Structure formats: C-alpha cells, structure tokens
Amino acid sequence: MSRFNDFNNPQVAALPAHLKQFIVPQHYEHYTPVDHAVWRYVMRQNYSYLKDVAYYPYIPGLQKAGLTIEKIPDLQDMNDALAKIGWGAVTVDGFIPPAAFMEYQAYRVLVIAADIRQLKHIEYTPAPDIIHESAGHAPIIADKDYHQYLSYFGSIGAKAMFSAQDFELYEAIRVLSILKEMPDADEAELKKAEALVAYRQDNMGEPSEMALLSRLHWWTVEYGLIGSLENPKIYGAGLLSSIGESASCMMAEVEKLPYTIDAVKYSYDITKTQPQLFVTPTFQNLIDVLEQFADTMSFRRGGAYGLQKAVESNNTCTAVYSSGLQVSGTFTEMKVDGEGDVAFLKTTGGTALSVGNKQLKGHGKSYHKDGFSSPVGKFQGSDKALEDFTSDELKAACIQPGKETSLQFESGVSVYGKVKTIYAHHSKIQIITFIDCTVTDKGRELLFQPEWGVYDMAVGERIVSVFCGAADKDAFLEIPYKSATVTHHPVYDDATLQLHNLYRQVRNRRHKGGDYGYLGNVWLMLQKYHQDDWLCALEILELLDHEGLEHALAAEIQAFLENKATTEPEYQKLISDGLYLIKHPVEEKLVV
C-alpha cells in the first residue's frame, strides 16, 4: 500500500492500522470518459426518479456528501464535505471482509470501491462500485438518525462471531462479482463461480452471528424502505444506486413486509433482484431491532454460550472476565461447573491479555506464544469474588508475593504455587502470577505443571462478554483476512481508446462549448466504427437539443436510438429513459 492519505479528515486519520491495509489509491486519472458518462447517466436518472421515491434527505444529501451529477467524485472532495457531518471516506478494492466493513462503519468511514461499473452493467452490478458506495450510501449519511444507526451497527458488527464458512462464502462472492464485471469473462468459469456461491450458500450450517447481522444489514442499509407499507420511500444504497431496481422494487410483485427481528430469517442473493423488501416506520425502529438482536449475541451474553461460539469460530476472539481482564486468542477448550457456568478456559497459540482494550505490558502474543489457560469463578467458602478482595483479605487468604498458597475454586479447579506478583487496575484484581505452580481440575486432571514455567492466572468470577477479534487489535497485530483475488483492470485496445476519445470530445463540448457542429464528425465516427454504442449518441443528441442546433443531425440520431431501442430490447428502457431526460432535464443546480 502506498503512503497513507488521510485526506485531512479526522475520521480517516483515526483509523487503526489493521483497517488501513484494505485502502487503495483512487487513481482518479484512470477513469475514462466513458466512465464519467456512465456516472452522469446514472446520476441524472437517479435525480429525476428518486426525487419522488427516495427518502427526503437523499437529494439534499448529494451536495452534503460532495457529489455532483457531472463527474465521478474525487475522494478529497468527498472527505472535505463528509467531514462537516463527522464522517470520512476511503477507497478499497471491491468487496472486503464483512467484519472489516462493519468496523469501518463504527469509525464513521464510508468504504468506497474505487472501480466503476461497465456500460453494459449500467443498471445494476453485483460488484461494489463507486456509484453504489458513493451515490448510494453517502447522500443518506447527512440524516443524523440514519448515520447514528449506521455507526452503531458497525460497532456491534465488529464484535460479531464469524465462521470459516463465512469467509469461504465471502471469497466465492468476491470472485463471482469480479468475473461478472470482466468484459470477456469465460462462460464456463462464470458458471463454475456461480455454482460455488450457490453451494456455499446452501452449506453454511447454522448461520453465524455475522451471517445473521449481514442479513439485517442487507435488508436495511442496502435494500431498506422507510414509511408505510402502502407508501414506502427508498433509503437502502443498493436500491438508490440501481436505476433498474429502484423502479422495479416499487411494483406490487415485490412483497413489502414490516421490518422486525424476523428479517434475520430471510437470506439474500446478491446476483438477483429482491423478491421482498422490508419497510421500517422510522430509523429508530432500526436501532430497536438491532438492540433486540444484539441481546442474543455473545458479546452481551458471555458465559459458556459465548465461549462455545468462540471455540466453534476457530478465529481470534476475546473473553472478558468480570474483573475487566480481556483474554484474546484462539479458544480451543472450556470446562463448565455443575451449574453450567464457565470454570476453566484455554487458548492455543499466541494470546494477549488486555484491560480496557489496551494490551498489558509483558502480556503480548510473544510472551503467551503457546496459549493461555485459567480458572474462572469463586473460591470455595467465600461469598466475595477474588477480584474484589482487599489487601487484608488477600493477606488472610495467604495470597501475597513470596508466599505459597492453595486456591480451591467452587468448580473443583485447584491452584497450588508461590505467588510472584499481583496485578490490579481500578480496584479490581486481574492477574495473579505464580511460580512452581500446579493446576488440576475436579477429576485431578493436570491442567498446568511447574515444568511449564510461570503461571499467569486470570482473576474473575465469570465471563461477562465474548467477541470476535482481539481487544487491542493493533498491539495484537491481528491481520483480518484479505483476499488474494484482485479486481479486473482492463487494458484497452485501439478501437476502445478511439471510442473514449469520442466521448471525451462530447464531454469537452458540454463543459467548454466551442464548435457544436463538430459533433457531426463524432457521430460519423460512431456510425462507422462503434454502431453498438448508444450512450455517446444520446449525449450528442442531448447537446444538440439543448442548444437548438443541427436539427437534421438530431433527427438522424433520434431515429437511430429509437430503432435501437425497438430492435435490441436490452437497450429499450435505457434509451427511453435517456430520451425522456432530454425533454425533461434535471435541475442540476440543486445538486452541483
């Protein structure tokens, strides 16, 4: 990655190191004149249609997000605008892992795919692109209630448990979306990728917390409607950025359901239009449903439930003791007592101990390189949790540096050894370090022996929270999974470069004026070498009509476009919508 550019935006500057690895330069100079024409077409269509069906702040939000109709947004312009409402934006390479995506939201940073869809996918693309991310997500950010929901969702999603199957599905979807955006993707390879996505979707097993949260995200942030079932408005970015589905979604054939926690039962397919959509009466209802779901998650439930989820995840997770001590590592074992409460936990491999999301000095992965284990619970015969013992109570229990002691836990776990040090923070004891230590369970199974070295015993009556990821991610040097598959960047042949030049000439005439009669030469070249094109022809017609020039040429182009719409049905709606906007131009001054 090149030198990190924070765009002089506080939100971007505050991003932790483990998220910066996904950021790529925008390379604004790589956008072609065709790319800008695609952006302009979609934005004009969106403005014309969405002013009537989008949730109110969408149109004013365009300006607040630093977006214009005429050109693909520059990340610096967007960051300058978004900073005023406490957000930022960065560019990434296509889909990034859901956990990382959620965490960006928690930091109030929009993740924007740097690429833009091809002309042939102008209505909808399964791959994330700058139209979807900026024209879809950014305008609604100006709504205070909504952006609070978005960042809160991110903070909860960043703690969600995920599974190996989640990563496998993510990778399959990423590969498929890249293939679908390639101009000449191999048909057999495409079908193979589609089959793999379908297979992995059908073999996910019990959905993880992340999978279920992703559904809530999909049915709100991406495809949400707000208002009444009879008269909903669009706020979801997937709909706002799709000039095809933003219209079709309002048809009666697409079922409208009240948005409740039941939305987690509905899976989705990114490659197809949605068979149903969910309508929320208010953004506050989104937060209420999210709260309802969060109450079922490991980071709030903790205990044996949360630790079991951590073991099943087989990823870096953090268990939080009631004392405040955080144990981060790959959990492989736990023991419970007769009441079903956690009595003992164990990690394998590099493990770190933290308090308040800050790694404790001398307790990083290099020190606990072979894993970590510790009992959980109360002493036998004590009504008070060890973490709350005063110095006098510690002395009475013979828990003092240099003293040998024997600790009997209610669960049957026993710890024998000489106390080396006691670590406490905010009047809570978190770690007691032993030498010459032996740890056994109720059945006398050996859990730790003196030959293994120093024993750091975590202190806490119970496990109050378990969440995915390390407590101190940067100190832990936790590197989120990053795909090795990169998005496709085309190499243009001479004919395509010639077409780009024709689009550039039309764009220059619109922006700079000059000899509009020259557009006739552009049209001749289009007819001779690029008869498949329709968008450049449409832009020429728009200029001629707007300026009231070259009536015969305008009539010829209009006839060409109308014939193309009739004989090639895939272009019918695109051309008809484009012709409509020539006669009913949008008020660009409202958004530029």
398: which DSSP letter? T
Q: Please name the residues in contact with 445: beta carbons below 8 A apart, sequence gap of 6 or more.
A: none
From the number of C-beta atoms within 10 Å of its C-beta (0-12, 13-18, 19+), residue 201 rates as middle
Q: Which bin fits 447, alpha (ψ -120 to 50), beta or left (φ > 0)?
A: alpha
Instruction: Give the separation between CA 101 and CA 115, rounded to whole angstroms.
Output: 17
Closest listed residue to residue 335, CA positions, set 439, 454, 436:
439
562 is known to lie in a ligand binding site: no
Is residue 363 marked as binding? no
Closest residue by Cα to residue 298 from 287, 308, 290, 285: 308
Distance of CA 123 to the CA centre of its chain: 22
Burial 476-500 (b: 16+ CB within 10 A, else e): bebebeebeeebbeeeeeeeeeebb
Q: Is the CA virtual torsion 358, 467, 456, 375 positive or negative?
A: positive
Contact status, residue 229 vs residue 252, Cβ threshold 8 Å? no
- Candidates 553, 552, 560, 551; CA nearest to 578 is 560
Amino acid identity at 526 = L
Secondary structure of residue 344 in the 3-state scheme: strand
Contact 219, 237 (CB under 8 A): no
Q: Is 147 part of any known ligand binding site? A: no
DSSP state of 117: -
Those residues with Cβ within 8 angstroms of residue 498's Cβ, 6 or more apart along the chain or in another chain: 525, 529, 530
Residue 471 backbone dihedrals phi, psi, to 5 degrees: -65, -45
Q: Tell me the binding residues for Fe cation.
A: 132, 137, 222
Q: Which residues are annotated as a binding site?
A: 132, 137, 222
